[in-house]
Amino acid sequence: MASVSLVKEIKRGVITENPILILALGLCPSLAVSTSVKNGLGMGLAATFVLAFSNVIISIIKGWIPDKVRIPCFIVVIATFVSILQLLIKAYVPLLDEQLGIFIPLIVVNCIILGRAEAFASKNNPMRSLVDGFVMGLGFTVSLLILSCIREFLGSNKLWDLLVVPNFKPMTAMILAPGGFFAIAFVMGVVNWVRGWKKKEVKKA
Amino acid sequence: MTDSLTGIVQISIAAVLIQNFVLARFLGLCPFFGVSKKLSSATGMGMAVVFVMTVASMITWWINKAILIDMGVEYLRTIVFILVIASLVQLLEMVLQKFTPALYDSLGIYLPLITTNCAILGVAIINTGINVFSGTGYSFVESTVNGAASGIGFTLALVLMAGLRERLELADIPKSLDGLPIAFITAGLMALAFLGFSGLSFFK
């Protein structure tokens, strides 16, 4: 039974409640770092780490936090994990630290994390909150990977730093700021189209 | 770290146009898409952001210099900054409510939203880094100007976007692109236009 509900949870995090593509949360980091697949994956994993741990801690201490000051308390918990993460990344993957730069400390104000703390972890037990943190992080990572694949391929003709199509001149604008907006608009458009199409199917049947 | 007029002009032009917070740096996107449906609310939000960003830049600069660096606890920067910004916003809300009710009425509802606006924390962190023009850290005046100009850049993008989106309401848009996706495309076109400013090369 446990495995069935896990599959369901993953489906919820990645598809039905995908934080970026459906709920449109956490847009800043997702557009800023999706310039290459490596950066996208790094950011996704970093946010998942913070999301999972802060969810667990918040759901453990939720009983002691007075309702009025809960948001500042959540932010302190999240900021603590972000600081831990910052030090870890600096020590073990300095290259990623250079690439993501300011967006690592900015995980603190990523709305996905505070959103999950408020909407889920403050109401559920630690185990479920941990699972929720992981699946939401997975959804975030998957959407980052989709975006960064599109942008890295069109913008520099590479995937994971490997050349894809020889003799193809990429469009640099795709890895600059405009490309980020175009890529997410395109992906969201496709998602909406598929959803609209599915609804029609249901109506017919 | 001497302040020069040239340096200040460079910082402000870069922050408003070349490295526009929304369209080039990808900071503060949530309010950019959330509050850009109506021109009036966009202006209100923009003013509130300029205000908070300027004050936050001044305060976090002092905290960074006088407390974090002097005591050698720079690793606490993220936690300290976010707490300072959150309490600053609360404090501003109370002060405005008490002394300038008119201003509070126009900015009030946007203030709580600003705490989680990554542009504010972003500018505070950028101010602790290296100034690309002089090659040294930001001085107090420079970081204040940077805060104010970044806020103005944010407002410029937000107001332009709101104007465009008011027109878009009337346009005939493919169904699956309606709403956010078309807003993203609009922002992308604006970013493309702002990319033109990178030709104003102050960066060597």
> What are the structural domain ranges in chain B?
29-160
Chain B closest CA to A106's CA: distance in Å?
A: 7
Nearest CA to B181 out of A110, A24, A163 is that of: A24
Per-residue pLDDT of chain A (205 residues; tens, 9 = 90+): 456 688 888 888 888 888 888 878 888 888 888 888 999 999 999 999 999 999 999 999 988 888 878 888 888 999 999 999 999 999 999 998 888 888 899 888 888 888 888 888 888 899 999 999 999 999 999 999 999 999 988 888 888 878 777 777 888 888 888 899 999 999 999 998 988 888 888 777 6
Q: Cβ–Cβ contacts within 10 Å for residue B6, how many? A: 11
For B128-178, write each residue's pLDDT tens digit. Answer: 888 777 778 888 999 999 999 999 999 999 999 999 999 988 888 888 888
Q: Where are the domains of chain A?
A: 25-204
CA B189, B34, A50, A97 dihedral sign is positive
Of B26, B78, B116, the CB nearest to A105: B78
Give dist(CA A12, CA A14) in Å, integer: 6
Percentage of the residues of chain A whose pLDDT score is greater than 90:
37
% of chain B beyond a pLDDT of 70: 95
Question: In chain B, what residues touch A75 (CB-CB under 8 Å)?
Answer: 82-83, 86
Distance from CA of B173 to the nearest CA of A (A): 12
The pLDDT tens digits of the residues spanning B41-74 come to: 888 888 888 988 999 999 999 999 888 888 888 8
Cβ neighbours, 10 Å, residue B196 = 10
Hey, how many other C-beta atoms are within 10 angstroms of the C-beta on B10? 20
Which residues share a beta bridge with A163?
A158
Per-residue pLDDT, A52: 94
Residue B153: the pLDDT is: 94
pLDDT at B39: 87
Contact B185 A182 (CB under 8 A): yes
The answer to whether A23 faces chain B, any CB pair under 8 Å, is no
Pick from A104, A74, A118, A109: nearest CA to B85: A109
- In chain A, how many H helices and how many E strands? 8, 2
- Checking ipTM against 0.90, whether it exceeds it is no
Q: How confident is the model at residue B89 (pLDDT cuts 50, 70, 90)?
A: confident
Other CB atoms within 10 A of residue B199 CB: 7
